[in-house]
Amino acid sequence: MCGIAGVLNYARRTPVEPATVSRMCAAMRHRGPDASGQLFRPAFGLGLGSVRLSIIDIGGGDQPISNEDGTIWTVFNGEIYNFQDLRTQLQQRGHQFKTRADTEVLVHLYEEKRADLVDDLIGDFAFAIWDDRTGELLLARDRLGVKPLYYADHNGQLAFASTLPALLEGCDAPREIDPRALLSYLTFRCIQAPLSVYRHMRKLPPGHVLTARGHDVRTRQYWRLKLEPDESRPLESFSEELDALLNDAIRRQMVADVPLGAFLSGGLDSSAVVRAMTEFSSGPVKAFSIGFREHRYDESPYFKLLARELGIEHHQLVFEPHLLDDVQNIVQMFGEPCAITSGFPLYYLSKLARQHVTVALSGDGPDEIFAGYELRYRYLQSARRAQHALPRPILSMANRLAQLTRTVKTTGPLGNRLRRMRKFCELVRLAPEQWMPYLTVNHTPLTEPAAVLGLALAPDDTLPYVTAFRQQPGGADWLLPFLYADITVVLPDEMFTKLDCMTMAHSLEGRVPLCDHRIAELASRIPSRMKFDGYTGKLVFRRAVEARLPRVIAERPKWGFNVPIDAWFRTDLRALATDVLTSTSFRQSGLFNPDVARMILEEHCAERQNYGSLIWALMVFEIWRRSFGSAHGQSALETPPSPAAANGSLPPAA
């Protein structure tokens, strides 16, 4: 795992100052504390930089790395899990290697296939390749978007980096906040690719390459997942193939020259990873878990059960609200606004793991790939049936009656039932592509983005999630568009963003073996009825792993790595929320309506609504804004501080 950065002044070909690349690397030093390197080509206006977390070939794999004659160079973030196979093939064709690192495979494969080298790679990656012979720069991101890559193409300059703060250090593009990014953020609590918080900076989408040669800068999608179910195969056939792929992916991702372990939640996915690791490990597997004091969020009975049964080396901690005293550090490590609440316990879990290992395998992925969100899909299935069975006037009348219950407190069994009833009545009046944005936002008149924001908004149908939903035909299989949007948008922009930023905050490499692209491609051929049967999710995945796990874990429903944020904002975190959302800084920012924010907080604390997620999103954005700049619109933001300089306290409110 590393951080990469670079600048190409392709229009004027002015040399890149070494100090610029040094600043870019310094802004992401936490991603690569072991080594750094730079490459400059003044005649082309090019500068490349890398910071390295040494995982494979610790002493010999420093970057940039070149081919035999020094005409092709690369900086690389991630891992190529089939690099040993590729290395053998390349050596048989006459290529000479000078390191044992997986990085070097890239330059030799590029010699043969140029931009098409990505087709041969099994891995999680973001890299840049420079070709002295042609003056071409190639950027690439892995198929599912496990590794991040930001870039800006502005005024004849192309700049890129693994993090947004690093990009800002070398980028001349204006720092204008993008209203579409704010809409994405308020809806999904993250900013979905290709958007970034800044209008003139973008994320390279998963499965894309970018090439720059002369004045010609273009992007190309080299891989797209197509959900085309094969109804001719039985479930057992799919589960057997899946079992083989799962084991191959986990085995490949256990290759490292440094200590390696895994995150263990006690759920099906992480338990399957740890169980397989015990088969491929010569010693006890190291696993790391986090529990909660609130019983309904705590999975400790399950991860303790598996730890005892497998005889692993197990480390655990309990997450407490006071740990959010480090909120400033955590927000800065995300680099741009991200209010995914499960990221915050992951920050501390990663801190615990880094005391023992340098690489941690995670169980992320099967929920999106194999339809694991059971409650959500049952809910959507019911909404679909209601839309088909009931006339629109009946649905409208039911919605009007449901709104009469808004004054009932949301705490307690009755309040929760009424809240769910209101949401359902509102949901069925919408088009299916709007269901997930609606559910995520927890819409009420107060939480409509138009009410919360002080900026003009783009239409809802510009959201990347909605665009992805419309790209996948559903037909009789109503679940396909939801699965496609989950895999192509939610997985990279929520799950992988959280994992990458929170592990890298502690110089820990997070790997996701269950998101090997070959597994996703197999899943794309499995009918939805073999994933979700109307009640239980991940059916085919469960069948593939259940024989190796305790029955109580193999049959567990989806639990989720959630945080009791609603309760905390009424107790432990109420003072912090009040301080941030009523501050002069928040009121004067012009980004959000301060009166609406105050009412949202009051409604939540009075238990009339559960607005914890939105309160957290507004707080995170304000803390991010104080850290990285205070202007918006056409104004330039201040240069952000290095994340390493964060001191754990909130920045000044003025």
- The amino acid occupying position 475 is G
Phi and psi at residue 322, in whole multiples of 5°?
-65, -20
CA 5 to CA 23: how far, in whole Å?
10
Helix (H) or strand (E) holding 286: strand 286-292
CB count in 10 Å sphere of residue 328 = 20
As a whole number of angstroms, the distance between CA 521 and CA 384 comes to: 27
2 belongs to the catalytic site: yes
Among 3, 65, 11, 58, smallest CA distance to 39 is for 65
Going by their DSSP bridges, the two strands 313-319 and 72-80 should be labelled as unpaired
Distance of CA 526 to the CA centre of its chain: 24
CA distance linking residue 57 with residue 82, whole number of Å: 15
Cα angle 145-151-157, degrees, rounded to a multiple of 5: 155
Exposure of 558 in the CB half-sphere (CA atoms within 13 A): 23
Burial (CB count <10 Å: 0-12, 13-18, 19+), residue 322: exposed
Between CA 251 and CA 248 the distance in angstroms is 5
CB 323, CB 351: distance < 8 Å: no
Q: Residue 141 to residues 137, 207, 221, 296: CA-CA distances in angstroms?
A: 14, 6, 10, 38
At 300, phi and psi to the nearest 5?
-60, -35
Would you name the residues annotated as active-site residues?
2
